[in-house]
Amino acid sequence: MNIEKSKKEFARAQEVIPGGVNSPVRAFKSVKGSPLFIKKAKGSKIEDIDGNTFIDFVGSWGPMILGHAPDMIIDAITDAAQRGTSYGAPTIIESEMAELICKMVPSVEKVRMVNSGTEATMSAIRLARGYTKREKIVKFAGCYHGHGDSFLIKAGSGAITLGLPDSPGVTKSIAIDTLTADYNNIESVERLFSEYKDQIAAIIVEPVAGNMGVVVPNAGFLQGLRDITKKYGALLIFDEVITGFRLAKGGAQEYYGVMPDLTTLGKIIGGGLPVGAYGGRKDIMDMLAPLGPVYQAGTLSGNPLAMAAGLVTLKYFDSHPDFYTNLEKNAAKVEAGFKRNLREAGIKGVVNRVGSMMTLFFNDKEKLESFDEVMTSDRERYAEFFHLSLESGIYLAPSQFEAMFINASHSDEDLDNLLKANLEALLKLK
């Protein structure tokens, strides 16, 4: 496969962009490769600047649930752009979008639009602290909530040890207010609340972990978090930037039947454009300025282009009752095919899936339920597998610890080609 143009452009980009990319995972470092520069995309396919075409199972890291550049979304964006791209003033479409989110996401009574998932999680944490008048938060090892300072913290020795900064630039004074627990380990959460009691404002969690690869919540884990926060007067925040409108119309909270106090959203609600949102109970959301004392603002919040794209996307789900059933069927086909291929190739692996998001881990454990467990996966083997898949026209995440996504644009032929390429790659692995 010829990628000389991409290599040349990567060298050029590195002269003016740190690392040559505007988001680290795009650099292909963990798969020891050179990133592809994309020229265009439509439906389930992407094409790089060298003319190579791939079936895309990354989908811009989740937003492209309808596939790339659906005509209805392009038409909505074009129509909105002709009336202006930003006003810095209220528009009707913002209210329409908010009404639809409140209708579809079970726990959301009011919602505030922002510009990214990171901005949504940062704002939700500030709101939780302002509402509870407490300063500490609990997060989970391996769960990613954007690059806000409070979230770039790793656990110390033991679950109740105060966090240490995980990135230069994050101060110890910020780290001291972030406590790290173990995903799927409710006892580690109980220990933190027993130690810090009325100092904890909120738990923030990806209800399905998607940023250490897909890790599924054990039965009772999410409900356990709900029970603990109620017991101690803290808030429960579901980071549904990935799972929102991915697992169901109402996201993971509908899928699992557990209602948080606040929810963060992103990715899919922008229809492919930059967007974020956070929402929840009215009494909490009404603490926000200009109504309340918790300040948050944004010049481009509720941008008319993103609102137009997102509104068309959410309306599509609302008008197609079989949408998620079809996604589930196709994703189940891929999961079963991956497992069958692993057996046929004699390769040890674990396939974790919820709905249309999944990860194939190269790991000899029977199951993977935590950050420590997934980190024992064979990154070298995944890197080899990634490049073999790429050679066969399959575009997967350039990291063992990311999710792949099945989208509505993937045809039966696309999925058959994926499974064929998957088996061929597994058979070639060392």
Report which DSSP code applies to 20: G
Buried b (16+ CB within 10 A) or exposed e, 374-383: bbebbeebbb
- What's the CA gap between 222 and 328, in Å, rounded? 22
Confidence of residue 164 (pLDDT cuts 50, 70, 90): very low
Q: What percent of the chain has pLDDT over 90?
A: 90
Mean pLDDT of the chain: 94
For the stretch 206-233, pLDDT in tens is 999 999 999 999 999 999 999 999 999 9
- What's the CA gap between 374 and 144, in Å, rounded? 15
Q: How many helices (H) and strands (E) does the chain have?
A: 14, 16
pLDDT for residue 156: 29
- What's the CA gap between 249 and 314, in Å, rounded? 8
Is the confidence at residue 157, as pLDDT, over 80? Answer: no
pLDDT for residue 166: 63
Confidence of residue 117 (pLDDT cuts 50, 70, 90): very high
392 contacts 423 by C-beta, under 8 angstroms? no
92 contacts 311 by C-beta, under 8 angstroms? no
Residues labelled as active-site residues: 144, 239, 267
- What's the CA gap between 289 and 272, in Å, rounded? 28
Contacts of 103 (CB under 8 A, 6+ apart): none
117 contacts 267 by C-beta, under 8 angstroms? yes
Architecture of the 4-69+322-428 domain: Alpha-Beta Complex (3.90)
Confidence of residue 165 (pLDDT cuts 50, 70, 90): low
Is the confidence at residue 424, as pLDDT, over 90? Answer: yes
Confidence of residue 53 (pLDDT cuts 50, 70, 90): very high
**Nearest CA to 382 among 367, 365, 397, 369?**
397
User: What residues does each domain of the chain span?
Assistant: 4-69+322-428, 71-319
* pTM of the full structure: 0.95
CATH number, span 71-319: 3.40.640.10
Report which DSSP code applies to 47: E
For the stretch 365-401, pLDDT in tens is 999 999 999 999 999 999 999 999 999 999 999 999 9
